[in-house]
Amino acid sequence: MQIDSKSRIPKYQQIVDSIVKNIERGDLKVGEKLPSINDISEEYYLSRDTVVRAYNLLREKKIITSVVSKGFYVNKAVNSSNSKILFVLNKLSNYKLEIYNTFINSMGSDHQIDLQVYHCDPKLLVNIIEENLGAYDYFVIMPHFKNKNNLHSNTNPEVIDCLKSIPKNKLVIMDNYLPELGDDVACIYQDFKTDLYKALEEAKALLQKYDKLILAFPDNPIYPYPKEIKQGFLNFCSNHGIDAEVLDKIYPDMELQKKDAYIVIDENDLVSLVKQTRDMHYEIGKDIGVVSYNDTPLKELFDITVISTDFELMGESAAYMIKKHKQEVVPNIFSFIDRGSL
């Protein structure tokens, strides 16, 4: 068993990795008895709790099994050809899970894919990477951070240093481009400022019938949105002489006026806006324009015009890069989809 006292990998994880590698090499066979908790604890100067945690993890994965009063046994063979992938999201949302599920389906059943969430906390992301650095063959990471002021940040020096500890051919960055890593790290990203600007250019003919364009840009201290979205909006309005306003949310009892068009990011804001528009007997797409950020099946069902990246394509592209050993930087497709609400 290989236990490195100087490694930052937790000792329990080193035990797990050592046993799995022994099974992969055939040094441990199915049905063979494993050393007892006390034996490992005494031989490697580890606490019993550490060994218990390692064995519990192996039991949860059904790699080993326990027999009362007898000990622990190898329960199944481990296919060494199957890669282990850690998929790390900044938050759980319908969009992020769509990417994750598409990635799983694209990779197929021959891979172990685990999911972790770091809630835009850079320190938590660093901890996740350091604890799992030697445990996975690939890391797929979506880097979005909040700074000390709870505002969105595209990068973080501590995270960048940590990401550089991952071999470049084992790392895939999604959704947010990190130039500090160079262009030889696989990356599928959104260019939030440019994407929004170009999408509004596509919608320019429809926007001309409105007197004012309003962006509802959420002030979310837990999961802040990229400020580049707001910058792209303001640049577009300025360059085209459009009267613009940015709100932090759709308020109850909004001062809705005919010939206003809204771009809404948060889905709760979308529901509130649509409800208030209908309560005032305004017609969406004629009196009030509504555009939602990020597409969903429900928005398609209710004919809501959207500006959105292709989340399925992002998941498929990440899987393709791993399977084909590609290390490319690729912008994801971002589209304006007109469904009549503008």
Quick one: pLDDT at residue 77? 67
Output the pTM of the full model: 0.74
pLDDT digits (tens, 9 = 90+) for 139-171: 999 999 998 888 888 889 999 999 999 999 999
CB 145, CB 118: distance < 8 Å: no
Q: How far is CA 156 from the centre of its chain?
A: 16
Nearest 5°: the CA angle 221, 222, 228 is 65
Quick one: pLDDT at residue 285? 96
Alpha carbons 243 and 247: distance in angstroms, whole number: 14
Output the CA–CA distances (angstroms, integers) from residue 196 to 8, 142, 294, in the order listed.
41, 20, 11
Q: What is the pLDDT along the chain (342 residues), one digit of tens a residue?
A: 889 988 989 999 999 999 999 988 889 998 999 999 999 999 999 999 999 999 999 998 889 999 988 999 998 766 555 688 999 999 999 899 999 999 999 998 778 899 999 999 999 999 999 989 888 899 999 999 998 888 888 889 999 999 999 999 999 999 999 999 999 999 999 999 999 999 999 999 999 999 999 999 998 878 999 999 999 999 999 999 999 999 999 999 999 999 999 999 999 999 999 999 999 999 999 999 999 999 999 999 999 999 999 999 999 999 999 999 999 999 999 999 999 999
pLDDT digits (tens, 9 = 90+) for 320-332: 999 999 999 999 9
The β-bridge relationship of strands 145-146 and 152-153 is antiparallel
Q: Pull the structure tokens for residue 38.
A: 């006390």
DSSP-based three-state secondary structure for 100: helix
DSSP designation for 284: B
CB 249, CB 219: distance < 8 Å: yes
Look-up of token digits 């890069």? 321
Query: Taken in order 107, 113, 116, 122, is the CA torsion positive or negative?
Result: negative
H or E segment at 112?
strand 112-117
Pinpoint the alpha helices (H) of 90-203: 94-107, 122-132, 157-163, 192-202
Mean per-residue pLDDT of the chain: 93
